[in-house]
Amino acid sequence: MKQVQKMDLNILLALAIVVVVLGIGLLANTVPEGFEFSGYSSNNLITGAAVGVEDYVPPEVVEEEIEEETEEHVHEPFDFIMPSQEGNATSCGNVSSSITLTANVSAEGTCFIFNASNVVLDCDGYSINYSNSSGGYGVYATWVDNVTTKHCNIFETTTTGSQGIYFSTSTNLTIYNNTIKTTGNADDAIVLYGNINTNISYNTLNTSGSSAYAIDQSSSDSVLNSTIEYNSISTTGSGGGIYVGGYGSLVYMNSLVTGGDAIIVGDPQNNVSTNSINTTGSSDEGIVVSDTDNVIEYNIINVSGSGAEGIAIASDYNNITNNVVYAEGSGDAIAITSSDDNNRIIGNTITTTASSSDGIYLTNTDNNTIQNNTIITHGSGYGLRVDDVLGANITGNNINTTASSAYGIYFDDTSSSSYITNNNVTTVGTSAYAIYLFDNNDNNQIVGNNISTEGSIGYAIFVNTATGNNLISN
């Protein structure tokens, strides 16, 4: 009984403290001349700013989600029937010494198998027609070193899970200047599984089946140091352009037009740089980053499908720098999703054109840096939208919105302890606030921002139901 009474007294004391704190909070707002406060916005320090503070409910904002590519992506070889005879310049078979084709070749299943190291398969422009009546590979290699496939035109006849080139558990591989076309579901043009030091360059790759990648580098600790460069990639199915598994890959100067996601980075410590990317399908992302410590830089990305993000980040400690991103559908240009922290979004140029398409969107993520980006939105989306975020550093950005109700920087809900400093924010639409803190966004520093609002009913800074924010010299 004494314990119960003690608990009741503790509860009453806690309630009394809450009542007193709320009373003090409501009285803590000092109302300077020309400002109006109402509702539950308290303890905000405001100097040198044109600010409106009240209980106001904005138009409903539809929550957005990014599908994370978090499961291990592994493409193990199929159990196809392989040739037993030796290959030569006019027929398929095993490659135990270098071969240069002098005619087109074909096979019922798999055409060529590397069974020796230090050899070259040079098609010299001739064709490999594989999988005529059953599944197979155009070119296959496993447990070899220093082999090359070049100058081949590779295509399949049947569509039974066949791949153009499949290299497994090998080292020092070269795939150069080939044209590969697949049409079946899950029929990838090139598959890498457990390889070290692979160079894939100057190839033309086309896939049209669902779930078919142009280049599928399976996730594996043993996949290391691939270079994928100067390839021309077109996919019309739902698979995607390049899946980057393993560590230490460079994906550089490729041109991709895809129906699925263009590039998926599924493992850490890879570099995706200077690629030209166009996606057209619904929710087809330009680049998806689903592991840590990757560098995404100097890419030009255009996404036009409904709900498609330019760069979707679903992991921590990534550097997203100096990219040019156009989002023409309803998706955001750059988005960081749930519990993906400590990313650096720096020096990107972003343009959105559709309604509800934000320039940069952060949700349920902490300690990210958003710095020196140029963001222009032409639809009703926001320049920068922040939702349930802790400790963001938002500094030195140039943000321009042109539509009605298109806020420059919008803190949606329950974000705190962030720095919003030295940004240039311009809005021209009706009711388009430059900086808007809505609903429980507390203890943020809003300092030294250069703000211009040209539309009617456009506050420079609008604080709603928030406490402990410092608004200084804006």
Helix (H, G, I), strand (E, B) or coil at 9: helix
CB–CB of 143/129 below 8 Å?
no
The per-residue pLDDT for 43 is: 59
Strands 334-336 and 127-130: unpaired
**Length in residues, the chain:** 474
Q: Say how far apart CA 154 and CA 179 lie, in whole Å.
A: 6
Average pLDDT estimate for 420-424: 98
Eight-class DSSP state of 89: T
The per-residue pLDDT for 318 is: 97
Tokens of 306: 């409904």
Q: Say how far apart CA 259 and CA 261 lie, in whole Å.
A: 7
Per-residue pLDDT for 22 more than 90? no
Tens of pLDDT, residue by residue over 95-129, are 999 999 999 999 999 999 999 999 999 999 999 99
The per-residue pLDDT for 444 is: 96
Task: Give the bridge partners for 191, in sequence order.
Answer: 166, 216
Tokens of 71: 């499961």
Q: Categorize the per-residue pLDDT at 238 as very low, low, confident or very high, splitting at 50, 70 and 90.
A: confident
Helix, strand and coil percent figures for the chain, each rounded to 5: 5, 40, 55
Eight-class DSSP state of 258: E
Tokens of 472: 């200084």
Cα dist from 225 to 149, 198, 246, 378, whole Å: 18, 7, 8, 41
CB count within 10 Å of CB 417 equals 15
Angle at 47 between CA 41 and CA 52, to 5 degrees: 40
